[in-house]
Structure 1
């Protein structure tokens, strides 16, 4: 039998309490962990112990890899140290059940190693006192882990089947309402649906999604969670199969077993299927909603397209914000509106700075050839190969990367039509 010193008044054994809930989405008041901590205090009193401090993780899964549990981490650290922050000695842990502490073998290993790092400690739950040093105590912990893992698998399978059955019946997704529909997820939101339909038409006609996102921002449009639209969110919205009435589940378009035709949802579509297929065809496979939606399997092995312009990735926005600070956002390539500038570099962040693509690329070459510091200038052989098209774009970009950290693009002057190479300010390595 484990012996304990009378470290607390009345000879009570000082223990720490831990509580955890997986979800707190409805009330968001932490009542679950609060109730568990109350039960832990009662359990401690019933077994001659006293809770000296408590740790909790509200709305934290213990079965998913990579989920941060600050309360559990502090518990482990204090067990290893042997004392709480206030200096009180720890002689045991109390919790409602083992699955509150661990649902993965890694967490069980961490917990047992920390708990048994000092002799004479106990582990309490509603079943009673457990000796974590004995073989029976270890076997009980392993049995609890097996039960938790089995329960997690059964619950995951049950939930997956439930979502699949709802999807086959065409029931809308749960969660936040999709952009373009009202809260019932069935009736169209007139203004948003019109924006989506217009964006699909513009994208099919060749307009960049960043330009569409910028138009939405200028109109004051926000997403259903309050965020500002960007190229990625616009892409997901206009390539989602729900825009034409199709139902998807976990990144796959659902087909009716009887007919082999796509399952139709119960909601009102925004565009016909042929428009959805046409807009999807304007994107590379890795960008489509079907490979980016919640629960969708990630596409791997898709090669990223090589940059087609010299300055891609090297230019930063030099526009000033309202508070006087410099934007510093990356400049992205967009389609230009003139023969002299068939492409432009525009800020992906503030959208208040752009420069002719050929102007910026020529400015980079001038800096490398004539205007840069002596140690950064190209050799005659390299210059000859560069100027006589005996060098690939990727080789040129490697030279640029070796010479510049980046280049800052100052905003242009309205109405000035001549090229101002001084707008490109280099930051040399």
Structure 2
């Protein structure tokens, strides 16, 4: 292995001590990492080494892709340099077990690349010293990785089966108390349940979720973990199957195999199944209970009604990096500006936006004064438009009868003057 660097005063090999725990839920004091570091210190002393630096990741998983382990990353950086930030030389690593360091092939490769980046390094565990440069040392690491991966899969399957078995028996979800129920997760909360029932009725009646959330905030309502209600959390509360007594698992309703009917939970429902289906049908794909994302199915065939006049009619005119035009839909959203209460923003690239009221004025002018191919609507229709007597859907139908869409060119940064020529109609 070459000439091992030693600590000059003691003649011992300086090594880095690493410890990791996956969870620290109960005591939250880092005792698991602390105990491992003590064992590492004993193993280092028994094998002629001295701990030069300590690294500990408390409550950090090593089996999940993308999981962050800052101390592990710092260890690899110091190994690659050969010394710590304060100049302590590192000639190896000591750890209680391989699976504390790595449970994924990517981490094994990263660790061995850093450890063997310089000659003469060693790896120490309670069983003794291992040569990371030899074939046997590498095979031992691979064998421990295989064992860790197999253990992770077995534990994951057992945990999944355990949750499924609880679910089919109607046992409530674990975790924080759901909004609308008391701490036992069975008995409804008299105040919160009334709010949920009213919110479901209001939403089915056409009330916006943002308005419901605003109403809750005005009443001083907070979530079960202290957060302020917003549109997303109110949507999740109303569309969760638990509100009507149904049990779901991994985003899907659980069904009784013999009857095909939904599994009923052991808790008291807040609304009826028909009310729950009705409120779910008011949301578009991606808004249903545990489903999140564009691929989520709807419970109802209706599309969500548009809330802004030009939503989807305006198209992005920004150019992509390859020179093509984005042409993505501009969707309405609330704006913070006092001059423009809402704006239209490109949903695809996000590089094009326009004032909502000003864009709506342009569309109105296009419909009633500038159409080169179709007859101008009667003045009576225009008067009803201006008086607010036409519904949003009726106004949108008038617009789309005249134009296919409008392409909006991006504005010039720093130019606050309104340029109506940015909106270019595509006539029918």
Q: TM-score, normalised by structure 2?
A: 0.76
- Label 1:329 to 1:144 Cα distance change in 2 as closer, same or farther (>3 A): farther
Shift of 1:302: 8.2
Higher mean alpha-carbon deviation, 112-121 vs 35-44, is at: 35-44
Residue number in structure 1 paired with 2:118: 118
Residue number in structure 2 paired with 1:11: 11
Shift of 1:5: 3.6
Shift of 1:3: 3.9
1 CA distance for matches of 2:41 and 2:35? 10
**2:243 equivalent to 1:243:** yes
Gaps of 5+ in 2: 315-329, 346-354, 377-398, 423-428
Shift of 1:300: 3.1
Shift of 1:218: 1.1
Mapping of residues 138-153 of structure 1, within 5 Å: 138-153=138-153
1 CA distance for matches of 2:415 and 2:220? 31
Residue number in structure 2 paired with 1:317: 336
Shift of 1:127: 1.3
**Aligned residues: CA RMSD:** 3.5
2 CA distance for matches of 1:111 and 1:89? 18
Residue number in structure 1 paired with 2:287: 287
Shift of 1:24: 1.3
1 CA distance for matches of 2:413 and 2:250? 41
Does the CA contact (< 8 Å) of 1:21 and 1:32 recur in 2? yes
2 CA distance for matches of 1:309 and 1:74? 51
**Equivalent residue of 1:277, what SS?**
helix
Match of 1:403 among 411, 423, 426: 411
Residue number in structure 2 paired with 1:208: 208
2 CA distance for matches of 1:270 and 1:62? 40
The Cα offsets for residues 372-391 of structure 1, whole Å up to 9 and x where unpaired, read as xxxxxxxxxx9968997699
Residue number in structure 2 paired with 1:65: 65
Does the CA contact (< 8 Å) of 1:171 and 1:266 recur in 2? yes
- Label 1:407 to 1:300 Cα distance change in 2 as closer, same or farther (>3 A): farther
**2:98 equivalent to 1:98:** yes
Does the CA contact (< 8 Å) of 1:17 and 1:93 recur in 2? yes
- Label 1:30 to 1:62 Cα distance change in 2 as closer, same or farther (>3 A): same
Does the CA contact (< 8 Å) of 1:317 and 1:331 recur in 2? no
Length, aligned pairs only: 364
Residue number in structure 2 paired with 1:361: 359
Shift of 1:9: 2.4
Does the CA contact (< 8 Å) of 2:288 and 2:296 recur in 1? no
**Equivalent residue of 1:56, what SS?**
strand
Mapping of residues 48-59 of structure 1, within 5 Å: 48-59=48-59
Residue number in structure 1 paired with 2:295: 300
Residue number in structure 2 paired with 1:137: 137
**2:249 equivalent to 1:230:** no
Does the CA contact (< 8 Å) of 2:78 and 2:84 recur in 1? yes
Q: TM-score, normalised by structure 1?
A: 0.76
Residue number in structure 1 paired with 2:273: 273
2 CA distance for matches of 1:125 and 1:13? 14
2 CA distance for matches of 1:331 and 1:37? 56
The Cα offsets for residues 55-110 of structure 1, whole Å up to 9 and x where unpaired, read as 11111110111111100110111111111011111100011110010000000000
